[in-house]
Chain A
Amino acid sequence: MSNIAGKHKPEIDRVQLVYAAVLDVVSHTGMVLIAVGFLAYVARLLPLTVSIEDIASHWHLRAGEMNRLHAVPSGWSWVQDPLHGDVLSFISIIFLSMAAMICLVAVIPVFFAEKNRTYALIALLQVLVLAAAVVGIAS
């Protein structure tokens, strides 16, 4: 059994508290964005790049085939023309997919401030892996 030490509540690492605080803000913001983006999409509050009916009549196809038929938002393809309902919904998903990276970027300076260079390096490498995925190098 692990050591059952006593009744005092242990102190939580500062770096962990910083990660939690940033994650709290990012995840709540992400959830609001997801709800608002989807509402704008299905209620057609903004024009769509691909109609919902076109998506629904082809969602049985492979992603590659769907892309050949319709320019559905993918990667950063939407950047030049973001004011569409489906794009807003896609952006909310993008934001959620960047949450971990945002939190890690926030804690790297804390690791450095604590002179924990090993973990600063591991966190930096993790950010680089996620950044490679985000910018499409890995794709």
Chain B
Amino acid sequence: MTRADGKKIWWFLAAVLLTAMPLVLPPEVAAASLPAGGETAWWVWVLLLFIFSFFLGIVSVLAGVGGGVLFVPIVGSFFPFHLDFVRGAGLLVALSGALSAGPSLLRKGLADLKLSLPLSLIGSISSVAGAIVGLRMSADSVQLLLGIAIIAIAVIMMKAGKSGYPEVGESDVIARALGISGSYYEPTIDKTIDWKVRRTPLGLVLFFFIGFIGGMFGMGAGWANVPVLNLLMGAPLKIAVATSGLVLSMNGAAAAWIYLYKGAVLPLIAVPAVGGVMLGSKIGARILSKVNTGSVRIAVIVMMLIAGLRSITKGLGI
């Protein structure tokens, strides 16, 4: 192992430990239990949020999940901010990550505009509906449902497989009519991959529900977009991951406006979160090849299960 590799592995260990730290703190120490305003200076929380988001950015890239799915349950349970503001910030975290990665993925033909547009049209309508419903529900109900959703997502992540190049027989009628197909260059095998999709009608229905859940809880939806695009519709894994970000940038924007209008986006919370996750993601991308991503994924699933349980107990007032 070279010295540079060793440094990268230290980054990885620090990222996992610091991201998991709020989860192992006893509740009385956790921020959520502190009195309103508390003794702690505002800038301490903002700095902690930035540091946490930075390490979350590293871990989320290594685990192949969007930052939003971990951000909302952990920050919502262990920082002193109301869940309304956490969800507003979570949507922006998911949105900004997708926006910054978008240009290069589009130019490489990995993110596909024609595949994303019909799905995002349906998803953005439902994400607006989800955001409206989420902001009207009581905080305890949202916290409880969020906990259940996070545990369900963790289970999906454990169970769902993935397929690099799925076998697609015939495209469905809608995919053929819309001309949803393409090709991209795969450098790892030095080949061009031609792809097409199937089961578009069912995909559209599922993207409606995914958009609703994403808007309701202020999370990105890569955890659901990718399996639907890859396993159900038959898009190659790289196309599914990249196009999921493109869909998210549109759905997240639509839902974010509901939070912006309700005054649920505080720059004091949203900006450090966005900045931290984006910087962390860049570091994560650099150390990606040196780290066993399978172990990180397991660590993230465990974190999600703990954060989900904490969210449920908080929602139940325990």
Contacts and interface: CB of A to CB of B under 8 A. Distances in A.
Interface of A: 1-10, 12-13, 15-17, 19-21, 23-24, 26-27, 30-31, 34-35, 37-38, 41-42, 52-53, 55-64, 66-67, 72-75, 86, 89-90, 92-94, 96-101, 104, 107, 118-119, 122-123, 125-126, 129-130, 132-134, 136, 138-139
A123 B117 contact: yes
Nearest to A12: B109
B203 interface: no
A122 B85 CA distance: 32
A76 B77 CA distance: 30
Given A20-B103, A99-B249, A90 B265 contact: yes
Given A5-B183, A27-B100, A133-B254, 13 more contacts: A2-B236, A19-B106, A20-B106, A27-B99, A30-B96, A31-B100, A42-B268, A74-B262, A99-B99, A126-B117, A136-B261, A138-B257, A139-B257
B254 A130 contact: yes
A13 B99 CA distance: 19
Contacts of A125: 121
Contacts of B64: none
A16 B192 contact: no
Interface of B: 36-37, 42-43, 45-46, 80-82, 84-85, 88, 92, 95-96, 99-100, 102-104, 106-109, 112-114, 117-118, 120-121, 124-125, 128, 132, 135, 139, 165-168, 177-178, 182-186, 189-196, 234, 236, 249-250, 253-272, 274-275, 278
Contacts of B165: 1-2, 4
A129 B184 CA distance: 30
Q: Which 5 A-B pairs have the closest CB atoms?
A: A56-B42, A89-B267, A20-B106, A74-B263, A133-B257
Given A3-B194, A122-B118, A63 B262 contact: yes
Contacts of A31: 96, 100, 278
